[in-house]
Structure 1
Amino acid sequence: MRLDQPEETKRNLTSTQSQQAPLAHGPLDGVKVLDLSEDIAGSFCGRLLADYGADVLKLEPPTGASLRRLGPFVGDDPHPEKSLFFLLMNLNKKGVTLNLETITGRNILKRLVPHVDVVIESYRPGYLADLGVGYDDLQKENPALTMTSITPFGQTGPYSQYQGEEVVNYAMGLIMSISGVQGQEPLKHGGFQAQYEGGLNGAASTSMALFMQSNTGEGQHIDVSVTECVASTAMATQTMYPFMGGTLPRRRASGSAFGHPMACEDGWIIVQTGGGATWDTIANFFGDPQLKEPKFADPAQRIRNTEELDQVVLDSIKERGKWDLFTKAAEARMLFGLVQTPSELLECPQLESRDFYREIDHPVIGKLKVPAALFNLSLTPYQYLRPAPTLGQHNSEIFIDGLEYSREDFVRLRQLDVI
């Protein structure tokens, strides 16, 4: 549907679609992708495309992608098929092995490219071009090709050749500067949040490029910098900085604990007073008569006596459970945040009700409950099709059935360490 269609036509189409049952295919059905990435960001980008209908083929070196060597591992067994990161980042993909360090491997890649719409990669800028399989080289094989490159600092600029990892992206992208307590060292969030940002932005930009490709037939090279993805989440902070006297918006060392984790009986709760509740309602919620004293009567007084206020609140919640606090605060129109542990998140009734988790059945690991559906489209919802591929699982299907190599040639490719 083109954007310049008459409004009446658009309304009719919308009305028809809203009455339809979910379809058996995704919004990216028919899109074919080669995923050359070995990291979290590129792999997550490919997984998102696969989750919503794209046919994604994971290409790994014969020894396996580096992500296979990243723990934790199921059963603490550092087996290439038991990396939980590889498992999660490569759901719904098929997988083959291909050695791009060999001439034959690069020629095979060039044979695959005419059959796909997108190539995802996360190598050092210039690495693929040095091998003769950069974007300009591959576009000669497929003029409509889109390549999505996701790297720590992007394809250009003075830092483009620098290596980077999660802590580097966080430090360079400002988020670390505004995390933690004033007067103390900056803090980094746990896990690999920067990499997921890179993957999300990679998938979004790839979808935009595919939209243009469908309209004009043209492909393009997408350049995603993970550091820029992180920095983009702090745009407002960066803009406000000059107007705050050069003070970074970090938590105070003492006082003003509202909006930050506070200890309760069985964990941590974020206590906030917003949401529409009056101060009388808030005071009654905490059940301490001190909160109705004049020194807490208005916002100015509460700021002036903030440390004492914090202590009153801490004393009132220290013997109360976080789940009880969370639900009763919501009923009182107070914005509390319940700090969930990983095991609690796995059983979260909100996520369960929305089918966020799916059970997969992996040939080596067995059955496992994993985070799956990041968002839902009413007509083309998330679909789980297959677990992450085992190393070289689809070599025969792709090289013999697809590219029509003979059995003898297939064996020879394995012997020469090409696949």
Structure 2
Amino acid sequence: ALEGAHIGLGIWSIPGYSLTLSIPENQRRYPGRTGAAGYPVCRCKDGLIRFAPLALRQWDSMRRMLGNPDVLESPEWYSGAYRGANADILIALLEEYTMVRTVAEVFDAAAKEGLPAAPVSTVRDFMNNPQTQARGFMVGVEHPLVGEALYPGAPYKLSETPCNIRRPAPCLGEHNEDIYCRELGLSKESLVALRRAGVI
């Protein structure tokens, strides 16, 4: 009888894995989107939280969470383009609310109103998160210079062909001889001369 393999794919692991492919450089809290005033990131007493008011009902949820301030009563705020053009006003109102509360308090308040929101985790937060640890996402690998180091593992679990990290990241110059001499045909003497000259 044919049997399939079990593939475990945890949504929590995907962002962690994708962050290993590129380092985020964008420091802006509002990137200029117009669809729903973007996804504002706001400061709290103990960290950052991001909101994602995608649907109009979630915009109403945000207004309720903020206590229905008069400045947001205008029907113009139902336009994504208007919210995008006035994002500074919106973020100022949000941070007036969030900066006197903890991330957990704001997250709970948003959830109560049906407003999508999520804490902005640091790398340490992600590594120490119970879900990250339960999935065994961070893998200990022996490194010749630093001893055991934690590496991000695969974001998926395959029952028949499990993925593992076979070796640590190479040290500087570790594979120079393999590449320059065996692959590119450079002599060992030339490689030594290039090292002495500080070229490689």
Q: TM tier, shorter chain? A: 0.5 to 0.7
Could you say if the C-alpha distance between residues 345 and 366 of structure 1 is closer, same or farther in structure 2, counting changes exceeding 3 Å? same
Is the partner of 1:316 in helix, strand or coil? helix
Q: For the Cα contact (< 8 Å) 1:275–1:333, is it kept in 2?
A: no
Could you say if the C-alpha distance between residues 349 and 325 of structure 1 is closer, same or farther in structure 2, counting changes exceeding 3 Å? farther
1:380 & 1:388 partners in 2: Cα distance? Answer: 22
Residue 281 in structure 1 maps to residue 116 in structure 2: no
Gaps of 5+ in 2: 9-19, 193-200
Residue 271 in structure 1 maps to residue 36 in structure 2: no
Larger Rg belongs to: 1
Residue 353 in structure 1 maps to residue 134 in structure 2: yes
Aligned counterpart, 2:11:
none
Deviation at 1:357, TM superposition (A): 0.9
Give 2:25's match in structure 1, choosing from 171, 190, 195.
190
Identity %: 22
When normalised by structure 1's length, the TM-score is 0.31
When normalised by structure 2's length, the TM-score is 0.56
Could you say if the C-alpha distance between residues 357 and 331 of structure 1 is closer, same or farther in structure 2, counting changes exceeding 3 Å? farther
Is the partner of 1:351 in helix, strand or coil? helix
Count of residue pairs the alignment pairs up = 164
Could you say if the C-alpha distance between residues 389 and 268 of structure 1 is closer, same or farther in structure 2, counting changes exceeding 3 Å? closer
Give 2:106's match in structure 1, choosing from 325, 328, 331.
325
1:369 & 1:264 partners in 2: Cα distance? Answer: 30
* Higher relative contact order, chain-length normalized (CA < 8 Å, sep 6+): 2
2:70 & 2:151 partners in 1: Cα distance? Answer: 44
Q: For the Cα contact (< 8 Å) 1:277–1:332, is it kept in 2?
A: no
Could you say if the C-alpha distance between residues 293 and 373 of structure 1 is closer, same or farther in structure 2, counting changes exceeding 3 Å? closer
Q: For the Cα contact (< 8 Å) 2:45–2:103, is it kept in 1?
A: yes
Deviation at 1:189, TM superposition (A): 4.6
Q: For the Cα contact (< 8 Å) 2:42–2:48, is it kept in 1?
A: yes
Give 1:362's match in structure 2, choosing from 130, 143, 160.
143
Residue 299 in structure 1 maps to residue 78 in structure 2: yes
Deviation at 1:280, TM superposition (A): 4.8
2:81 & 2:57 partners in 1: Cα distance? Answer: 16
The aligned amino acid for 2:62 is: I
Q: For the Cα contact (< 8 Å) 2:40–2:91, is it kept in 1?
A: no
Deviation at 1:290, TM superposition (A): 1.7
The aligned amino acid for 1:190 is: E
Could you say if the C-alpha distance between residues 332 and 357 of structure 1 is closer, same or farther in structure 2, counting changes exceeding 3 Å? farther
Gaps of 5+ in 1: 1-11, 23-87, 90-165, 167-187, 192-249, 400-412
The aligned amino acid for 2:43 is: A
Q: For the Cα contact (< 8 Å) 1:273–1:334, is it kept in 2?
A: yes
Deviation at 1:355, TM superposition (A): 2.2
Is the partner of 1:17 in helix, strand or coil? coil
Q: For the Cα contact (< 8 Å) 1:356–1:371, is it kept in 2?
A: yes
2:170 & 2:71 partners in 1: Cα distance? Answer: 62
Could you say if the C-alpha distance between residues 344 and 296 of structure 1 is closer, same or farther in structure 2, counting changes exceeding 3 Å? farther
1:275 & 1:350 partners in 2: Cα distance? Answer: 28
Deviation at 1:332, TM superposition (A): 4.4
Is the partner of 1:329 in helix, strand or coil? helix
The aligned amino acid for 1:375 is: Y
Aligned counterpart, 2:14:
none
